[in-house]
Each structure stands twice: as C-alpha cells, then as structure tokens.
Chain A
Amino acid sequence: MLLPLRWINDYINIEDIDPVEFANRMTDSGTHIEEIEYRNIKGLVTGKVLTVDEHPDADKLSVTTVDIGGEELTIVCGAPNVEVDQIVPVATVGTVLPGDFEIKKAKVRGVESNGMICSLDELGYSQSVVPAEYREGIYVYSDDIPVGVDGSKALDLDFPILECEITPNRPDCLSMIGLAREVSATFDRDLDLPEEKFGGNDEDISDYFGGIEIETDNCNRFYARVLKDVVIEESPQWLQNRLMEAGIRPINNMVDLTNFVMLEYGQPTHAYDLTDLRDKRIKVYQAGDDEKFTTLDGVERTLSSEDMVIADGQGPIGIAGVMGGLDSEIKDDTTTILLEGASFDKSAVRHTSKRLGLRTEASSRFEKGVDPKLAKTAVDRIATLAEEIGAATLVGGSIDKIVEKREEYPVTVRIDKANQRLGIELSSDKMVKYLDRLGLSPVLEDDIITCTIPTFRPDISIEEDLIEEIGRLYGYNNIEPKPIVGAMTRGKLPKDRIVARKLKDSLRGLGFNELLTYSFISPSLFDKLDLPEDDIRREAVELINPLGEEFSVMRTTMMGNTLDVFAKNQNHNVDSMLAMEIGNIFSKDLTKDNLPTEWERLSIGGYGKDIDFYYLKESIEKSLHTLGIDSIDIRREENNGLFHPGRCGILSINGEDLGIIGEVHPTIMKNFDLKQRVVLGELDFDLIVENYTDEIEYQPLPKYPASDRDLAIIVDKSVLAKDIEQTAIDCSGDLLESFNVFDIYEGSQIPEDKKSIAFRMIFRDHKGTLKDETVNDIIKKIIARLEDDLDAVLRDQ
C-alpha cells in the first residue's frame, strides 16, 4: 500500500516530522514501512512557455523560450504537445532527475539548450499512472499554477511516499483515513477528517430511480445516490495529483472521484450511467448457473449460483464487488449517474473473484472486509465532491437498504493480565490513554478497562486483542527482556536424531556428502527404477494439486532421488562422489491418526575410482559399528531388477532385513543416463535406531600369544567368503579370533567355474598358550568340513 505523506497531511499535521522518524515510529506501532521514496526534485521549477519555433535542423524538435520567473531560458524540446502559454515543469541546469540523469547546458543540433521541459515519466512517475494525454509528451500544469515556483511542490511531490505493509487483520488500513488513524494514535495528534455532508437539491432520488431489492444473504447493505447534469471532463489537478502519487492513473472526473474516495476510505463504489439502467431498478441476487455476462473489460463470463450479481430490471449489470458491466459504464456523454455503495460478504467476493480469475481493486478490498458503515459515507463523499468540483448536481435523498446493521460492541481487558502478558508494569491510566488514542473509547472501572469497538475494527474481539493494542503503542522494543522464570528443564534430542547425527559423523569421515532432496517426486521415477507393475512402491501417496508431474507423488523410495543426483553430477563431470541422505518415505497405509505412514530411510551410494560394492558395504558396516551394531549379516539377492544380479545383497540385523545394497543394474544406469557404475543402498533407518546402543562391554587385552594359519582352497565360484568363515567358526569354538580373506584368484590355473580363496585365521586361547597340536587339530577339522560341505579342494601349499 502506497502512503503519500502529502495526502496524510490533509487529515493530520505531520509536516514537522522527519520522514525516517515517521517511518520508524509507524513501523514500531504496527504499520510496517518497507520503503521511503523521496520524489521531490531539486531545481525543478514551473515555467511559462513564451515562444515555440521550429528547430532549424531537426523536424521533430522545437526551440522554445520559457519564463521561469525573472529569467528566460532557451530550451530545445522534443515533445509534440508543447505550446505557447503552457505552464510546464522545467528542469534547470544542474537538476538531477530520477535515474541519476543530470541536466547540463548542451547544444542540440547546433542550438543551445539551457534545461529540459519534463514529461511525467521523466519526473519519476510510472507509465501506469500517467494520464493518457501526457503519455507521449511533456506535462502541463493547470493555468492557476504560478510561474517560477517549486515544480515538485506544484505536483505535490514535496512529501515522500512510503510503501507500507498492511496485515490481513487490518483491512481498514488499506485507506488514507485508516492510516491517518494509525498516525494519530502513534503520534498522539488530532485527526481532522472530512466533514460528512449529505447535500442534494430539492428533488428526490425517487424521481429518477425506482428502488433496490436484495435477494441474497451475501449483500448486507446497498446505498444509492443520483447525480444529474453530469459533465465528464478532466479532473482538477489536485485530484489527479492525489491519484498519481497513490499509484492510480487519472481518467476523468467521475472515475477519478470514485477512485479517490476508494483510496481515502477504503470503500469501493460503482457509478452506473442511469440512462442505461433498464426499468430504473436494481436487484442483488445469486446468479443462475451458466448465466452469461460481459464485464466492462469486454470479456464474457459464465456465472454460477456461487456468484452474486447486480441487475437492473432486465438482467445483470455487474458482478457484485468484482466488476461492472460494459453496457452501463460511464461514458463521455453520460449525464445522469447512479452511485452505488454496497457491503458484500468477503468470502463470497473472494470466491467469485478466484473462480473467475478476476481480481480488481474492488474485489481485493471487499474480500478483506470493508466496514458497512462506509457504504454511505463514501457515496455521500463522492456526491458532494462531484458538486464541489462542478462535475454534477446532486439529487436530494438516498436509498439505503440495510439487511443487518453492524453494531459496536464492548471488549474488556484486565490491567494485571495486560501487564502480565506483556511483561511490563504499565499504569491503568497509560493503558486507557493508549486505547483512547486508538478510538476505542476506554472506560476504566475496578482495574478493568471496557472498550467500545468501532465498526471499522472487527479484528478486536477478545482481551488479547486489546493487550496487543496496548503493547504496540507501548512499543515492543521498549519492553525490557526478562528471562523465563520457572522450573529448570533439560533439553533433549530424540533418540533417532542422536543416532542420525552419529551415523552422519561416521559416514562423513568415510567421505560421504549429505544430500537434501525433495519429498515429492515424479511417478516416472518408478519406471526409471524398473519397479514391477505390482510393486508396492508404485502405490504412492498422490498430491491433488501438484506443481507439476515432477513433484506429484510422495516418494516411496529414496533411490530415485539419489540416482538423479548422481546422474546430474556425472553430467557435470564430477568424476567421483559419495553421498547419503536420511529422509522420509511415505506409504498409503494409514497411521492411527489417519495419516499416511512415514518411515525414515538412509539412502547411500557413490561412484568413481575405488568406489565399489565393497567400499559401500564396508562403509555401512564400519559406521554401524560406531552405533554399537555389529551383528550385520548379508545374503545374496539376485532378483532385484534395480541391481546387478551378481553384485547385490540384503543386509540384516539379527534376522531383520535392514535393506538392500548393490551395484546398479546396467539397464537402470541407462534409464538414469549414468555413465559411470554406481553403487547404491537403501536402509531402514528406523531399524538402525532400534538396534542402536551406546553400551560397550570392555574386553581385557589378551595375555597369551596367538597362533596364525593360512589356508588356500579351491571352491565353486558361488561359495561366499562368509560360508567359509562360518565353517571356521563352527570348528574352532571360541578359539578363532579373526578370519580374513587376503587373496581371491580366478583364472587359467584353476577350473573355469572355480575360484581360489586364501585366508588367514588367528587363533587364541584367553586361558593359556595354545598348543600347536590343538591348532593343527582345528585346521584338520576345518579342512575336512570345507571338503565335505563346500566341496573345497586344498590348494598346494
């Protein structure tokens, strides 16, 4: 909302307040000033054009002499509309125009020019507020502006314009008078509001207009006046200036007046050409379904029973609170006008405006809420102003249909509660004073203040609302901060967050970067992952209004996200990457709260030199070890389409599946456009949390020496190292301290479907020195078992 200080100054004297201080204090009291725009231009003066001659060497330029009050300047001007006797804005030499454009003495095609006659555009006005006639040329002041005075002041630009943020609870502040009330409360200065005049000639409105019927619950009030002998012309300059500085383009006197009063009071009104109103009657009702209507922007709209329309005796002439119709709008030859001031239900207007995709100044104000009292005030103000500027004659009498009157009501606040909530010690007198400055008519009795809430403040309904009013005038920055007094509490992290942080620490040490990917994904990822048609992961929770297919379902697996990240990085020529993310996946299964279930998962993987299945598996095992989880088992998984059938396994903890890890299947790599081989895993983080322990049982260091033995055996390629290890464990009781494979060989020395595995076993007895014979016996047993169970052949030593 634009707040021109010049306009505010019409209602409350603020001339002596520095704009920065003004902005700060208004911000502190609740009107957030986001920007201060200084519009005055030093060196800009009003000048009278004395002569206009053609430029000797340029068709489109003229050479003018301009009287700027005691001095005559020769100025070369390129505007087509420059004429003798005009009063124009002249930027003298040395003036800096908006956009840091400094006026210098210059020769223009050989003719000396001592300044510039300016257009509104050059003076910093946005094209959107410049009246049509000045869009292509210089600005011309009205004739009564004296020569040689401050040109900015003559345009009302001598006060800055503030950009302010109005919160949705204060629609009353979307108006100059609403803001002036806030200024008055903030600075404790008196308001001088326009006198409410009714006016009118001896005739009565009924001579011109038949009446109003309201046949809907969404219209609370409809107030009408009639203007006759209307002369549509350009508005006086003060009116144009007011509109332009508030960001609205002047059109003609009647349109400008309705806009002016809308800005002044916040009440949108509508002016109908009464000649075009059939049967001279108005009816407000809910439209029929599929009823058609052409709004004044020339677009035919299809209405529904949710939309409220204004109709004359024959049919719709406007969509209530949104936009009028083409047929009854004010035209250049309009002579009789019906002014409408109405109060419409905010939700109803919002609904229609949204449904039709039609947002107007009127609808955006109605949907935030307008005080029904203003329907009359605004129309009377327009009508009397129209007479004052000589645009029309006001017909006596009015028609006012009120369905339900909004009444003032009391709200109370306790002194002690206000002080407690704010954490201050303010006297009741001070509180009363603040509330009084806000126009809330406070009355103090027995430490309770009773306020009478005016109709323009429906946001105030409970005690806390009044506490806020007191607080904001006291100033939150004036509240002395106080520590919370109360029982000491111990802050805690939930267990899963402790585990996540520890796990991330370990993985970070192992080189893994942490990812952050979206919770919603494209269902096309399921195809890229080659999930079977009946895979449960295709049953994703869907958004009914996604931003696009890309973000349309909640992920049921994080693997697609992670592979996308790898593909993107490979595409950026990142030659190696390790990455992990702990995040949620979602299932359609409902929780006891009737919400989709969310599970936490660890997605982990990588690609690049040295990053293979074993790197991933070991990283997982080592980092889970730091969480006290050692009992991790793996079994081969050959039938998961996402992974290489020979390089994939399912990890488990104590028999419960933890998740799958493996090298990504070449087909899937192609789907994701992965150039380098990728290893990937998705683990059940909830299971990790469940198995996490920070209890460590200390083992004393060995007192007796160990004995180590190496064996090399030839077995089928399908035999897993863990099967051999299990055999060794089975045969050696608790004497086997460690088992490590140190060489695997496949090749010409051994049969094609076989491999040679060499491993070292370390034996130790914690009760005494192991005898060679004992170890030899164990080795014999192991060899025998390996031969029997795994069809192993001992390699020549």
Chain B
Amino acid sequence: MKEQIQHVKDSFIEEIEDINTLDKLDKIRVKYLGRSGLMTDVMKGMRDLDPKERPVIGKLSNEVSNFINERIDQTRESIQVKLLEQQLKDEVIDISLDQNRLKMGHDHPLIQTKEELENLFVAMGFSVLDGPEIESVANNFDLLNSPEDHPSRDLSDTFYIDDETLLRTHTSSVQIRAMKEYGAPLRMVSAGRTFRYDAVDATHSPMFHQMEGLVIDENISMANLIHSLDMFIREIFGPDIKTRYRPHHFPFTEPSIEVDVTCFSCHGEGCPSCGGTGWSMELLGAGMVHPKVLENCGIDPEKYSGFAFGMGIDRITMVKYGIDDIRYLFDNDNRFLSQF
C-alpha cells in the first residue's frame, strides 16, 4: 500500500510539472482525487489491510491527498497569475488612436460673446430684455429723437417693410419699449440682430449685432456711465486695457460720447492698424439719455436722468478672436464653427 501511495504521489509530481492550463489541472485533479481517481482506487485496498496498519496508511494517504490538493492549488494560482499576465499582455492597445466616437458641438462665437456680455450685465444688476427685429419707425427713429430728414432714415441706409415699419437699425429701439413698458427706474440691456443697408464685404454685413444698455434713475450722471463702462470694458478685455471717452453726437443722447480702447494690436504704442494713434476706435457709443427721449416715453426728465450705451457685438467678437473678416461669422462653415 505504502508503495502504491508513494507511486501515486510520484506520478502526480511528475505529471503536475507539465500542467499549464486550468483545464489540464482540473483533469489531473479528477484523475488523482476524483471519486474514481487514483487515490480513491488506492484507498479501496484499505479494507484488505491489517487493522493495525490502517491508521498509518490512512495518515499517509491523507498526507498525500493534502499534498496533492495543495500542489493543485499552488499550480492553479500560478497558472492564474500567468494567465492574467498573458491576458494583460494580449490586451495592450494603441493608446494614441482616436476613434472619434463622440461628438461635441460648439456655440457660435458671436453668440458666445453676446451671452458673456449679457452675463456680465446681469451680474451688475441689469435685466436682459428682447425686442422684435421688425420695428416701427416710431420706436426705431421718431421716439429716439432722430431728425425727420436724418440720412440714416433713407432707403439707402435702412431696410423698410412699409412707410411705418422697418428692420431695426439698432437695438436702441428696445430702450423705447422698455421705458414705455416699465418706466423709471430701469436697468436693462438688450442684445440682438440689427440691420443696415450695407453690401456684404470683409467689414460690412447687412445683418449685424448690437448690445444696448440703459439705466434710468434719479441723479444718474456721466460719472456713473463712465464707471459702468470702465467696469465692463476691463471685464471683457482685461484689467490692463485703457479707455478714452471722446465727445460725440447721437440724436438720442446729450451729452454723447464715443469710447475708444487701447489698440488691440499694439496696446497703445501706435501701429498701422490703429492709424498710429494707439487707440482702437469706436468700440462703443454712449451718453446721457436725451430729455426728449425720456419725455417721449412718459418719463419726467426733471426727476429722472439716465445713460445709454450701444456697441457692436460682431466687432467685439472679431477683436476677441482675431477674426479679420466679418463674413466668417455668417458663413457657418463647420471648420470655422468647430474652433470655438
């Protein structure tokens, strides 16, 4: 018996050396320890043994069984380690590969700029209002104190639907709507599409975008206007930008100003793109709301005063991203849009 058991053990040791898969390991386990395995076979001879020898043989067989079990477990573990190693090795991928399975869209740069401007003014306590693209001559010109024979009213400057209706030439018409609807005090901005009779070229578009701001309250002053504009201009163009406030003329404000900022190309040194002046011109027009405009909207110009400002969003977008041709903004070329 002893020899038999020893023989089984020896043959197991010999066999397990070559085992390298879990399948084979399982087979060898069945072969030696299974219900009709070699160890069971050997143990069948126990019945014929001398009862005195039984405990010895029993102990030996237990030892061998345990040995086999342990070796199988060890082997399994080492096979598993190897298998895992192999698996990891097999699963190496080209991590540089792009599969382009996901799509990510992009907001239009002009609308991004418009929304950033709106956010800024909302944070400063302004409400955002919208007005229609098709406006009345009254809201667009008359109530804004535009002289009746002002050239901007010409058919060669403004698109008309009929004698009393036009495509708004500025967002200032929303000022009128806001004052008529909400009265004073008021703090609003409005941004959107505007239209002027300009053929399409690198710097002109018959449709463009403006943002208008209006504050009406008691004791509003030029000093307040300049403070608000300084704040907002530094916010969009950075703290180093300088502003220049120049007297100007608009029919709907008095006094009126235009605002220049330091040239975006040369930062004030003077270069060809700013005509050597160091200033980037006409970023913004502004002024104190003309008393006639307040009166036209039912606001007492003795009690209230206000300021208004307007700027071209297209221009600001172009400056911000260095876009040199306004047509890109309306071309909707995917290769352009996907950059923002």
Interface pair B222/A472, CB less than 8 Å apart: no
Residues facing A in B235-256 (CB within 8 A) are 244-249, 254-256
Whether a CB of chain A sits under 8 angstroms from the CB of B297 is no
Interface pair B245/A476, CB less than 8 Å apart: yes
Interface residues on chain B, number (Cβ under 8 Å): 87
Whether a CB of chain B sits under 8 angstroms from the CB of A60 is no
Interface pair B255/A508, CB less than 8 Å apart: no
Whether a CB of chain B sits under 8 angstroms from the CB of A299 is no
Choice from A28, A496, A507, A516 contacting B108 with Cβ under 8 Å: A516
Choice from B197, B219, B244 contacting A547 with Cβ under 8 Å: B197
Closest-by-CB residue of B relative to A27 is: B246
Interface pair A517/B332, CB less than 8 Å apart: yes
Choice from B105, B134, B245, B288 contacting A421 with Cβ under 8 Å: B288
Choice from A547, A565, A598 contacting B332 with Cβ under 8 Å: A565
Interface pair B281/A484, CB less than 8 Å apart: no
Interface pair B247/A491, CB less than 8 Å apart: no
Whether a CB of chain B sits under 8 angstroms from the CB of A132 is no
Choice from A33, A170, A593, A595 contacting B249 with Cβ under 8 Å: A170
Whether a CB of chain A sits under 8 angstroms from the CB of B257 is yes
B84 CB to nearest A CB, Å: 33
Closest-by-CB residue of A relative to B192 is: A584
For A421, what are the chain B residues with a Cβ–Cβ distance below 8 Å? 221-222, 255, 288, 305
Interface pair A30/B247, CB less than 8 Å apart: yes
Asked if A586 meets B246 with Cβ closer than 8 Å, knowing A482-B221, A510-B103, A565-B332, the reply is no
Closest-by-CB residue of B relative to A476 is: B245
Complex Cα distance, B327 from A518, in Å, reads: 12
Whether a CB of chain B sits under 8 angstroms from the CB of A771 is no
Complex Cα distance, B136 from A605, in Å, reads: 34
Closest-by-CB residue of B relative to A467 is: B255
Interface pair B290/A464, CB less than 8 Å apart: yes
Interface pair B221/A516, CB less than 8 Å apart: no
Whether a CB of chain A sits under 8 angstroms from the CB of B165 is yes
Residue interface mask A466-491, B partner, CB < 8 A = 1: 01100110001101111111111111
B225 CB to nearest A CB, Å: 8
For A586, what are the chain B residues with a Cβ–Cβ distance below 8 Å? 133-134
Choice from B154, B206, B226 contacting A551 with Cβ under 8 Å: B206
Instruction: Name which of A378-386, A574-582, A698-706 contacts chain B.
Output: A574-582
Whether a CB of chain A sits under 8 angstroms from the CB of B199 is yes
Whether a CB of chain B sits under 8 angstroms from the CB of A135 is no
Whether a CB of chain B sits under 8 angstroms from the CB of A594 is yes
Interface pair B105/A510, CB less than 8 Å apart: yes
Choice from B105, B197, B256, B291 contacting A468 with Cβ under 8 Å: B256
Interface residues on chain A, number (Cβ under 8 Å): 91
Asked if A464 meets B275 with Cβ closer than 8 Å, knowing A510-B103, A544-B161, the reply is no
Interface pair B161/A512, CB less than 8 Å apart: no
Closest-by-CB residue of A relative to B162 is: A544
Interface pair A494/B221, CB less than 8 Å apart: no
Interface pair A424/B223, CB less than 8 Å apart: yes
Asked if A516 meets B277 with Cβ closer than 8 Å, knowing A27-B246, A32-B246, the reply is no
B32 CB to nearest A CB, Å: 43
A539 CB to nearest B CB, Å: 14
Whether a CB of chain B sits under 8 angstroms from the CB of A7 is no
Asked if A487 meets B185 with Cβ closer than 8 Å, knowing A421-B221, A511-B103, the reply is yes
Asked if A572 meets B122 with Cβ closer than 8 Å, knowing A486-B217, A544-B160, the reply is no
Interface pair A484/B247, CB less than 8 Å apart: no
Interface pair B159/A543, CB less than 8 Å apart: yes
Interface pair B334/A476, CB less than 8 Å apart: no
Whether a CB of chain A sits under 8 angstroms from the CB of B130 is yes
B13 CB to nearest A CB, Å: 49
Closest-by-CB residue of A relative to B152 is: A168
Residues of chain A whose beta carbon lies under 8 Å from any beta carbon of chain B: 23, 27-30, 32-36, 167-170, 346-347, 350, 354, 420-424, 462, 464-465, 467-468, 471-472, 476-477, 479-494, 496-497, 501, 504, 507-520, 541-547, 551, 554, 565, 568-569, 572, 574, 577-580, 584, 586, 593-596, 598
Residues of chain B whose beta carbon lies under 8 Å from any beta carbon of chain A: 102-108, 110-111, 115, 118, 121-130, 132-136, 149, 151, 154-156, 159-162, 164-165, 167, 185, 187, 193, 195, 197, 199, 206-207, 215, 217-224, 226-228, 230, 244-249, 254-258, 275-277, 281, 288, 290-291, 305, 329-335, 337-338
Q: A484-B228, A493-B128, A514-B337 are in contact. List 17 more A-B contacts (CB 8 A).
A: A30-B248, A32-B246, A354-B154, A422-B222, A467-B254, A467-B255, A491-B124, A494-B130, A501-B115, A507-B105, A513-B334, A515-B337, A516-B108, A541-B134, A574-B335, A586-B133, A595-B136
- Pairs across A and B, CB under 8 Å, 29 listed: A27-B246, A32-B258, A34-B281, A421-B255, A422-B223, A465-B254, A476-B226, A479-B222, A481-B227, A482-B223, A486-B217, A493-B118, A494-B128, A507-B105, A509-B105, A510-B105, A512-B105, A513-B106, A517-B330, A518-B206, A542-B161, A545-B156, A547-B199, A554-B134, A565-B332, A569-B334, A574-B335, A584-B133, A595-B135
The 10 closest A-B pairs by CB, nearest first: A423-B223, A511-B103, A423-B221, A491-B122, A30-B247, A481-B227, A468-B255, A167-B249, A476-B245, A508-B105
